[in-house]
Chain A
Amino acid sequence: QKEVEQNSGPLSVPEGAIASLNCTYSDRGSQSFFWYRQYSGKSPELIMSIYSNGDKEDGRFTAQLNKASQYVSLLIRDSQPSDSATYLCAATLQGAQKLVFGQGTRLTINP
């Protein structure tokens, strides 16, 4: 079982709709979770972090964490073509000072 798993997609969403990206993790000791956005040929860019159960909102982005289900999600409201990218979910492992990444979900927003 992979430590962090994402549906690789591609996920296609019409412009203006809500894009929903999902991620599961295997280590119950994981405490911190992050979403990165990566445009083709570029480096990953941190867009959200979440540490507690529930929702965290930042502009059009909402991160959701459910530690009991070991599930993290990212919602993007009012999707724009500029949101088209690969989204990487990352989690810390208990006792380790590093991030473990999922394989990423490729998102395409269709005008």
Chain B
Amino acid sequence: NAGVMQNPRHLVRRRGQEARLRCSPMKGHSHVYWYRQLPEEGLKFMVYLQKENIIDESGMPKERFSAEFPKEGPSILRIQQVVRGDSAAYFCASSPNPGHLGYTFGSGTRLTVV
């Protein structure tokens, strides 16, 4: 039973490029959460999605960031026109229902903007 799968593990982008981070939830899970961890800091909530719906995006920066979780395929976190301050580890977690919050994280994507 595969866990939460994230890819790529490492991503290097030049300033101004786009970054696409993918998250495949555990089998049977339809709720996905994205978190960001800046160097030497804790995890910050970004967005909570169900299939085809954004439920809570209160942690998403207002510009350049978007997320989706289509009916088929992985959840995507998209960062347009990346800047150096976007360099961080991005973690995804999934759960089978909204009340199940002791969730398991994927291995993360470490984004480096050069």
Q: Which A residues contact B (CB, under 8 angstroms)?
A: 32, 34, 42-46, 49, 88, 90, 92, 96-104
Task: Return 25 A-B CB contacts under 8 Å, by A number.
Answer: A32-B101, A34-B101, A42-B107, A43-B105, A43-B106, A43-B107, A43-B108, A44-B43, A49-B102, A88-B42, A92-B101, A96-B56, A97-B48, A97-B101, A98-B33, A98-B56, A99-B33, A99-B43, A99-B101, A101-B42, A101-B44, A102-B42, A103-B41, A103-B42, A104-B42
Chain B stretch 40-98: residues in CB contact (< 8 A) with chain A:
41-45, 48, 55-56, 59, 91, 98
Report whether A44 and B91 are in contact in the complex, using a CB–CB cutoff of 8 Å: yes
Report whether A98 and B48 are in contact in the complex, using a CB–CB cutoff of 8 Å: yes
B104 beta carbon closer than 8 Å to chain A: yes
A43-B107, A44-B91, A49-B102 given as contacts; is B56 within 8 A of A97 (CB)? yes
Give chain B's interface residue range (CB within 8 Å of chain A).
20 to 34
Identify the 3 closest CB pairs spanning chains A and B, nearest first: A103-B42, A101-B43, A101-B42
Nearest B residue (CB) for A89: B42
Of A88, A90, A97, most B-chain CB atoms within 10 Å: A97
Q: Which B residues contact A (CB, under 8 angstroms)?
A: 31, 33, 35, 41-45, 48, 55-56, 59, 91, 98-99, 101-108
Distance of A49 Cα from B103 Cα, bound (Å): 10
Of B55, B105, B106, most A-chain CB atoms within 10 Å: B105
Distance of A47 Cα from B103 Cα, bound (Å): 11
Distance of A99 Cα from B100 Cα, bound (Å): 11
Which residues of chain A have C-beta atoms less than 8 A from B91's C-beta?
A: 43-44
Report whether A100 and B105 are in contact in the complex, using a CB–CB cutoff of 8 Å: no
Report whether A46 and B103 are in contact in the complex, using a CB–CB cutoff of 8 Å: yes
* Shortest beta-carbon distance from B47 to chain A in Å: 9
* Shortest beta-carbon distance from A37 to chain B in Å: 11
Nearest B residue (CB) for A2: B42
Which residues of chain B have C-beta atoms less than 8 A from A101's C-beta?
A: 35, 42-44
Which residues of chain B have C-beta atoms less than 8 A from A96's C-beta?
A: 56
Report whether B102 and A46 are in contact in the complex, using a CB–CB cutoff of 8 Å: yes
Which residues of chain A have C-beta atoms less than 8 A from B45's C-beta?
A: 98-100
